[in-house]
Structure 1
């Protein structure tokens, strides 16, 4: 039983959170085109990231201050902890700008979900995870084709090393499906579903607690409402970790796919 399904004596049921809460109305229109809150947040994230790191990098001191040190720490985390580890020391540098951008873009748009008066993770709209997943798909496939040629790359991705004979009739389609077709789908769904579900839980417990405390006439409204609000706070702290992990995992998997595309053996 969900909170939305409970009927309280002497009052109507509380609001029922659902997918409709993510279908936000247009903030303003440009002709017939409606500009929504998630669109504005995505654009804002670009200005925030560029502005922040331009400001942090401006001193360019040999002995960095706190701001420059923080920026270098994030860059070093992506450069050495993700790109170098998964792509290899020979080829990783050319992909660091892309991976660094993707990490920050996903991270900022996830953290919007916990910023007061914004409180909406852009990645809970599936169009944005789809777009960056397709970008990663193009990058790692393009890198593999550039190194091995189209036919060589296709063979690399679909024919496991050392496998011969009739078993390839089964393995080649499966490898093609897994390595070429399904990766952008799994990248998309992992990020989207996590952000969607987390935000939906926050809506559920926040609205449920507010309804119980202020509008319900049930005898248990106060203890139940307090518990609901406390759960919303606890989920918010958990979401901080999850939002970071989703940005990390998306970037990590993108780097792993690039590394695999460039590897000499499948």
Structure 2
């Protein structure tokens, strides 16, 4: 089969050439080489969004005032929101110590996700599996470490493998399920949930914009372009909701897992 095609297009004349490889959509060519490190577009976007988040919080709390300005109020609202999650789930005694960690998770994921709708970027780093993977592994290391610190190495894994209040005959079935669930499925679902939602949302935004670009011309396909243009605000508002929701879900579930390590079941 020849790689060259000649296709009759109703409104575009003839196309002669090679179709792009679909894998090109997933390739991120290296832009900068720093010895063994390679920096591509995704990494640059992550650096940019992290820098913006750090700058905003630095400016907000560089010289805090009793009567906060708009930026300080906004950042304080974010911290108070995450503090509420920590206190409600982990508890009023041990919860506050995890507020910095959970705030970092929430803000980092939120800003990475926002790159999806940021002009000239339009690519959330969290749609690349490496970012959700690192975040999920970090959460896993933290809640396992907290469990070992709070209950001791043997006590923590005994609690995982042999939940109290269960008939001993069921441990043959329950123990492997509990170990797999707590040590493998928890980080896996954290990773997949964030990754899948960001990929799906990114595809939805791209399809909407491409449809507007292709069909918004005075020709028979014009109604499709108009419909896509009218639907685009709804799509973007929906994606903003998903962006914030995924940051919240990841933070909340991390708090739940830490809580299970801090306060074992009895």
Looking at structure 2, the residues matched to 261 and 239 of structure 1 have their Cα atoms a distance apart, in angstroms, of 33
Larger RCO of the pair (alpha carbons < 8 Å, separation 6+): 1
Number of equivalences: 255
Looking at structure 2, the residues matched to 100 and 205 of structure 1 have their Cα atoms a distance apart, in angstroms, of 32
1:244 is matched with which residue? 244
2:167 is matched with which residue? 164
Per-residue CA distance 1:52-71 (angstroms, 9 max, x = gap): 11110122222222222221
Q: Does 2:43 match 1:42?
A: no
Q: CA deviation at 1:188?
A: 0.3
**Which segment drifts farther, 202-211 or 239-248?**
202-211
Native 8 Å contact 2:201 2:239 kept in 1: yes
Q: Does 2:172 match 1:196?
A: no
1:141 is matched with which residue? 144
Q: CA deviation at 1:114?
A: 0.5
**Which segment drifts farther, 174-183 or 19-28?**
19-28
1:9 is matched with which residue? 10
TM-score by length of 2: 0.88
State how 1:1-266 maps to structure 2 within 5 Å.
9-11=10-12, 20-31=24-35, 33-80=37-84, 82-214=85-217, 220-265=220-265
Looking at structure 2, the residues matched to 58 and 32 of structure 1 have their Cα atoms a distance apart, in angstroms, of 36
SS in 2 for 1:60: coil
SS in 2 for 1:167: helix
Greater strand content: 2
List alignment gaps of at least 5 residues for structure 1.
1-6
Native 8 Å contact 1:17 1:203 kept in 2: no
List alignment gaps of at least 5 residues for structure 2.
1-7
Native 8 Å contact 1:24 1:36 kept in 2: yes
TM-score by length of 1: 0.88
